[in-house]
C-alpha cells in the first residue's frame, strides 16, 4: 500500500472508530462563583503562543495531507474555515511530501486558501534539520509542530521500530529553524517525565494530545492482519496529561488537545493549565458530515460559549482561568494523587479579581 493510500485509510478509519471521549475532563467540575463581578463584554479570548498573538486559544490541529486530491480538498476547506474564524491551523505530517514531491500540493493547498493566517508545519521526530526546514518553507509556516507517535508507529505494520536520538534531533531543529517549535503527541499524552526531557529545549509550547480523541493505535489495528489490541487503551487521558506536562516543564507553555469537542472541554483544559486548545477529529467529522458553514458556526458558537463560562467564573482572560478553583474527582483525581501531583491544590486556588 502506498503512503497516499494509507493517508486515505487513516481518514476513513479515524471517522469510523470515532473518539472515545475518555479524556478525564468529565472528572473536572468548577466551583461556582455567585458574585463573579464580571461582564461578557469585557472578556478576552486572546492568548500568546511562541511570541505570536492568537485571537482565540482554539485552533485546527494537525489532521491530514499527502493523500492526493481528497486530502488537498480537506486541507483547503479547513484552511478556509480557519480564515473565516481567524484561528490558526496545523497541517498533517508532511513527510510524505518530502518523499513524494507530487504530494506537496495537498499541503500547499492550506496556505493558498489562507494566505494571511497562522499556519503550522508538521513533521515527525525522526526528521533531520534539512527536512524540518523544507516543510516550513513548503507552506510558509509560522510554527513547526514536531509530532511524537511511538505507539502509532509500533501498531503500524510498516511503522518505525527505532526511536533513539529523538531529543537530540528535536534540539538540533530548534537551533536551526527560525520559527517557533511545538512538540506534540498524537493521542497518547505527554507524561511529566517526557515533559521534563523536553524542558531544557527552547520550545514555544508542548501539546499534550492526550488519550480520549482519535485513537491511532485503534486506527492502525483496523488495518493490521495481527492487531496489537493491547495498545487500544494505552495512553494518558487529556486532563491528566495537561497537569503532567505543566508539572514536568513548568516554564513551558502547554497546549491541550485530544478529544476536545465543545467549549466546556476547552475551558476546563485551560483552567488545568493550558494556554491554547487544538481540535482535530471532531472538526473533521463536522466538516465531512455537515459542511464548511456548519463547522464555522460550531467554532464561533464555541467562542461565544467560552465567554459565557468565563463570565460565570469571573475570569477576564485565559491567564485568569489558571487561577479559578475546581474539583478534580474520579479516576483523574486518583491518577494525579498516585503521581504526587496534588489534585486538591486546584480546589484551593483563589480567583484573580475580574478587574485586576
Pick from 2-16, 277-291, 311-325: least confident = 2-16
| Residue 177 pLDDT greater than 50, yes or no | yes
Does 208 map to a domain? yes
pLDDT digits (tens, 9 = 90+) for 271-314: 999 999 999 999 999 999 999 999 999 999 999 999 999 999 99
Q: What is the mean pLDDT of the chain?
A: 93
Q: Can you give the pLDDT at residue 13? A: 47
Does 136 map to a domain? yes
Does 324 map to a domain? no
Report the domain count for the chain: 1
Pick from 73-77, 169-173, 227-231: least confident = 227-231
Does 103 map to a domain? yes
pLDDT digits (tens, 9 = 90+) for 201-219: 999 999 999 999 888 888 8
Q: Can you give the pLDDT at residue 20? A: 67
Q: Can you give the pLDDT at residue 156? A: 87
Does 129 map to a domain? yes
Predicted model pTM = 0.93
- Which whole number is the average pLDDT over 230-253? 96
pLDDT, greater one: 116 or 159: 116
Which residues, in sequence order, are bridge partners of residue 144?
A: 121, 181
Residues near 273 by Cβ (< 8 Å), separated by ≥ 6?
242, 243, 245, 246, 254, 322
Q: Can you give the pLDDT at residue 74? A: 96
- What is the extent of the structural domain holding 165? 3-20+49-311
Give the dihedral sign, CA 78/83/87/92.
positive
Sorting pLDDT into bands at 50, 70 and 90, what band is 17? very low
Give the percent of the chain with pLDDT over 90: 84
Does 268 map to a domain? yes
Is residue 140 within 8 Å of residue 177, measured between CB atoms?
Answer: no
Q: What is the CATH number of the domain that holds 120?
A: 3.20.20.70
Q: Can you give the pLDDT at residue 190? A: 98
Sorting pLDDT into bands at 50, 70 and 90, what band is 10? low
Calpha distance 64→110 (Å, rounded) = 11
Sorting pLDDT into bands at 50, 70 and 90, what band is 7? low
Does 351 map to a domain? no
HSE-CB of 241 using CA atoms within 13 angstroms: 28
Does 350 map to a domain? no
Q: How many helices (H) and strands (E) does the chain have?
A: 16, 12
Amino acid at each position: 500500500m502506498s503512503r497516499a493510500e494509507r493517508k486515505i485509510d487513516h481518514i476513513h478509519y479515524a471517522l469510523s472508530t470515532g473518539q472515545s471521549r475518555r479524556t478525564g475532563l468529565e472528572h473536572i467540575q468548577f466551583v461556582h462563583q455567585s458574585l463573579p463581578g464580571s461582564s461578557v463584554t469585557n472578556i478576552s479570548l486572546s492568548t500568546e503562543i511562541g511570541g505570536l498573538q492568537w485571537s482565540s486559544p482554539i485552533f485546527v490541529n494537525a489532521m491530514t495531507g499527502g493523500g492526493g486530491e481528497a486530502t488537498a480538498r480537506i486541507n483547503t476547506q479547513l484552511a478556509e474555515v480557519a480564515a473565516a474564524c481567524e484561528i490558526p491551523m496545523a497541517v498533517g505530517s508532511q513527510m510524505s511530501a518530502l518523499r513524494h514531491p507530487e504530494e506537496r500540493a495537498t499541503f500547499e493547498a492550506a496556505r493558498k486558501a489562507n494566505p494571511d493566517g497562522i499556519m503550522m508545519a508538521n513533521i515527525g521526530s525522526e526528521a533531520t534539520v534539512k527536512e524540518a526546514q523544507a516543510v516550513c518553507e513548503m507552506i510558509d509556516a509560522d510554527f513547526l509542530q514536531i509530532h511524537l507517535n511511538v505507539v502509532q508507529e509500533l501498531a503500524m505494520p510498516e511503522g518505525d521500530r527505532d526511536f533513539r536520538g529523538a531529543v537530540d534531533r528535536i534540539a538540533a531543529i530548534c537551533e536551526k529553524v527560525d520559527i517557533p517549535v511545538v512538540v506534540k503527541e498524537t493521542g497518547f499524552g505527554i507524561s511529566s517525565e517526557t515533559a521534563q526531557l523536553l524542558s531544557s529545549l527552547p520550545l514555544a509550547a508542548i501539546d499534550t494530545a492526550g488519550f480520549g480523541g482519535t485513537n491511532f493505535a485503534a486506527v492502525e489495528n483496523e488495518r493490521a492482519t495481527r492487531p496489537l489490541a493491547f495498545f487500544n487503551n494505552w495512553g494518558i487521558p487529556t486532563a491528566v496529561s495537561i497537569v503532567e506536562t505543566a508539572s514536568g516543564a513548568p516554564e513551558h507553555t502547554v497546549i491541550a488537545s485530544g478529544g476536545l469537542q465543545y467549549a466546556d472541554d476547552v475551558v476546563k483544559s485551560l483552567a488545568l493549565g493550558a494556554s491554547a486548545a487544538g481540535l482535530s477529529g471532531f472538526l473533521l467529522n463536522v466538516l465531512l458530515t455537515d459542511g464548511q458553514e456548519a463547522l464555522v458556526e460550531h467554532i464561533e458558537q464555541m467562542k461565544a460559549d467560552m465567554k459565557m463560562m468565563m463570565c460565570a467564573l469571573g475570569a477576564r482572560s485565559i491567564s485568569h482561568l489558571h487561577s479559578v478553583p475546581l474539583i478534580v474527582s474520579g479516576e483523574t483525581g486518583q491518577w494525579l494523587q498516585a503521581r504526587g501531583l496534588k489534585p486538591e491544590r486546584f480546589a484551593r486556588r483563589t480567583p484573580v479579581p475580574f478587574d485586576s
